[in-house]
Amino acid sequence: MKKGYFGAFGGQFVPESLVPPLRELEAAMETILPSAAFQDELDDLLRNYAGRETPLTFCPTLSGRLGFNLYLKREDLLHTGAHKVNNTLGQALLAKMMGKTALLAETGAGQHGVATAAAAARLGMSCRIFMGADDVERQAPNVMRMKLLGTEVIPVATGSRTLKDAINAALREWVATQATTHYCFGTAAGPHPFPLLVREFQTVIGRETRAQMLAKTGRLPDAVVACVGGGSNAIGMFHPFVSDASVRIIGVEAGGTGEAGCYHSAALGKGISGVLHGEYTLLLQNADGQIEPSHSVSAGLDYPGVGPEHAALQASGRVEYHAVIDSRALNAFSTLCHAEGILPALESSHALAWVLDNPDALPKGGNVVVNLSGRGDKDMEIIRRSL
């Protein structure tokens, strides 16, 4: 297969000026990343700073209702509140060992921004975060957290003033600052090698889940389920199970408000292949190739594209992808709060909602794992207005 591709998807569609830093990163993945010095320090950071390993929590109340055993992989318990920190600690440490002194990143809801800001502060690096101007207003608490962590937050007022425009701005900034700066990309998308690099740091989710399920039940789960925006928590959960034919793998996209023709974020379900942000993948776009606005009640899923490996896993049929609309995600949020005393992120609530709304599609008496990729504290204002 061509370098940087997953089936027909992926690649490195960037301006020539970004080819050298991407190649520098590819080289570091081959030399620094496998070294004991890197792996030992990352392991220490994940254990003693971020809070790994995360628990695999059995849900007794919901399991009784659903007729199968529901487990949650508790990425919500990590430092900074979501799986994002697995990736930012890995990339920040790699960048530091490459001799970079600064990080830059995009953020949508602010979770990746906060996780990058924390990693930068911890490792003594400076940090600049690009964030859509609308998101800066909608996600004020995360903007405050980033600033408190010593990061500069730069509002991006161009285009749709959301995540995709923040990525455009960050890529532009990286062209100019590449000598000293690493672009800490937030999801398993973008130009090669980011989809591989982010997967590398997120597969800790699936590896732990696998070992925990074997220890608890003596067998692999019957199904693993995760939400998909760009797709980093999902690829982290899925990848270690892809070659286990007995494990059903289910990705859940954001279906938006749900009425006919509504804005949504379901690039896998409804997208058309094309090129955005350095990769060939499925995109929400019009017939002229202009990128269309996306929507989700959950800002972390609100993106008009998807990582190339998900597009390939869908094409091969190994992973099934479904969409859940805003109102069902909110219902799942409330259900988990009341039934199990866990307050999930609205992103993760999409994955949970598919399971709650489709119990007959899953095996009676079986074991199902939902990746609870983040906690819902950040979503209080949206939930207050929605419930």
Partner 1 sequence: MKLIPFITAGYPTLDAFWASLRELDDNGADIIEIGVPFSDPVADGPVIEAASQQALANGVTLRWILDGLRQRKGQFNAKLVLMGYLNPFLQYGFAQLAADAAEIGVYGLIIPDLPLGEDAEYRAALSERGIHLIPLVAPNTSLERMKEYAAVASGYVYVVSVLGTTGERQGLPADVQATLQRARQAFDLPLALGFGFSHPDQLDAIPTADRPDAIIFGSALIRHLGEGGSAGAFMRRWR
**Residues that bind partner 1 in the complex, under the rule CB under 8 A:** 11-17, 19-20, 158-159, 164-165, 168, 171-172, 175-176, 178, 272, 274-278, 283, 285, 287-291
What's the rounded Cα separation, in Å, for the pair 109 and 329?
Answer: 17
Beta 279-283 vs 272-276: how paired, if at all?
antiparallel
Catalytic residue among 79, 83, 112, 239: 83
For partner 1, the closer CB: 168 or 209: 168
Looking up tokens 């929605």, which residue turns up? Answer: 386
Looking up tokens 């520098």, which residue turns up? Answer: 24
DSSP 264-313: ---HHHH-EEEEETTEEEEE-B-TTSPBPP---SSGGG--S---HHHHHH
Dihedral angle computed from the Cα positions of residues 178, 181, 186 and 189, in that order, rounded to the nearest 10 degrees: 20
For partner 1, the closer CB: 13 or 68: 13
What's the rounded Cα separation, in Å, for the pair 214 and 194?
Answer: 31
For partner 1, the closer CB: 169 or 329: 169
Task: Tell me if residue 83 is catalytic.
Answer: yes
For partner 1, the closer CB: 74 or 164: 164
Q: Note whether 290 and 343 are within 8 A (CB).
A: no
Looking up tokens 């659903």, which residue turns up? Answer: 66
Output the smallest distance, CB 8 to partner 1, in A. 12
Output the smallest distance, CB 192 to partner 1, in A. 10
Output the smallest distance, CB 274 to partner 1, in A. 5
Output the smallest distance, CB 178 to partner 1, in A. 7
Q: Could you list the active site residues?
A: 59, 83
